[in-house]
Structure 1
Amino acid sequence: MNSENIKNLNSLLESEYIAIDSFESLINHASNINIKTELQNIQRTHKQHTLQISTKIQNLGGSPSCSIGIQGVIAETISNIKHIGTTDNTSYLKEALQGEFMAIKTINELLANNSVFSNSTILNSIIADHKTNIDSLNNIINVSNNIK
């Protein structure tokens, strides 16, 4: 049972690494200091998630992933191809927004399908953070659209 839990948590961990990388790119392209600061705050939550999830994996006797994994490499490559020639950050922001929704969906499935995690304070806290990130990203998108 622990090996399946560790596998699921490592998959979640890898998605957090993908988010960190994605936000790094957004931060580097943000010209507005307020938007840059908010993106840094969101990225910081993802970094905190990696620590929390890594600790949980270790407590279960597993070894946490240290990178985005092969699925992450594929996802990043597809994203990069999709955005070739794009100078508008709104499409990247919307993609990040989708990533937050997907993370909530993945964690909710994990909670629903595994009694070990059903009352997980860590996972429920991460969901709350993703919801806050969604609000922040929606605000950034609205501000970005008004700046144009």
Structure 2
Amino acid sequence: MQNEKDIVIKELNAFLQGQYMGIRAYEHLIAKLEDPEIKKEFQSMQQDHRLHAAMVSERIQTLGGMPVNNEGLTGKIQGFISQMMMPESTENIIKMAIKGEDLYGIQLSEEIVKGDLDPESKNMVESIIDTDRRHLDYLKNLVH
């Protein structure tokens, strides 16, 4: 049976893969954007995901684990599919970012928080999800 620390490390690594998915998704979205102001905001959101990935990696190391360094096979497949379906218009690019932040950044991440995280890890993940919520609000305001 796994001890509690191993379970926390496993869940944090799953969360970390999601951060890498976000970084990669924003790379593709940024490449398609033409509006310089929106591109700048997307770059800022991508930087948040990079910072969060570094924070989660450090937490995993502090717990004695080995952090993953990519989005994993499922994330790569999802990224490939997303690239194939990449929209052209700025509005549709924003809508794609909304879907990614909402489904992957918030909803799936909240499932991890419900798990067996220690208090420090849970607080860190909740703080990251709060940032994702601010991203989502900003993106929704762009469309409306």
The reply to whether TM is greater than 0.5 is yes
- TM-score band by shorter chain is 0.7 to 0.9
In the aligned structure 1, how far is the partner of 2:97 from the partner of 2:89? 14
> Match for residue 34 of structure 1?
37
Question: SS where residue 79 of structure 1 aligns?
Answer: helix
Letter in 1 for 2:99: Q
Letter in 1 for 2:94: L
> Match for residue 52 of structure 2?
49
In the aligned structure 1, how far is the partner of 2:142 from the partner of 2:56? 27
> Match for residue 133 of structure 2?
131
In the aligned structure 2, how far is the partner of 1:48 from the partner of 1:119? 15
Letter in 1 for 2:100: G
User: CA RMSD for the aligned pairs?
Assistant: 1.9
Give the drift of 1:13: 0.7
Give the drift of 1:94: 2.0
Kept after mapping to 1: 8 A contact 2:34/2:90: no
Letter in 2 for 1:50: A
In the aligned structure 2, how far is the partner of 1:120 from the partner of 1:128? 12
> Match for residue 94 of structure 1?
95
Gap runs ≥5 in structure 2: none
Question: SS where residue 63 of structure 1 aligns?
Answer: coil
Question: SS where residue 114 of structure 2 aligns?
Answer: helix
Structure-to-structure mapping, 1:97-116, within 5 angstroms: 97-102=98-103, 103-114=105-116, 116=118
**Range with bigger deviation, 13-22 or 95-104:** 95-104
Question: Would you say how many aligned residue pairs link Structure 1 and Structure 2?
Answer: 140
Give the drift of 1:100: 1.5
Give the drift of 1:50: 0.3
TM-score norm. by structure 2 comes to 0.85
Deviation by residue 1:72-107 (Cα, 9 ceiling, x = unmatched):
111012212334xx4224333323212212222233
- Which protein has greater RCO, CA pairs closer than 8 Å, 6+ apart? 2
Letter in 2 for 1:16: Q
Q: Show structure 1 runs of 4+ deviating over 6 A.
A: none
Kept after mapping to 2: 8 A contact 1:23/1:40: yes
Question: SS where residue 70 of structure 2 aligns?
Answer: coil
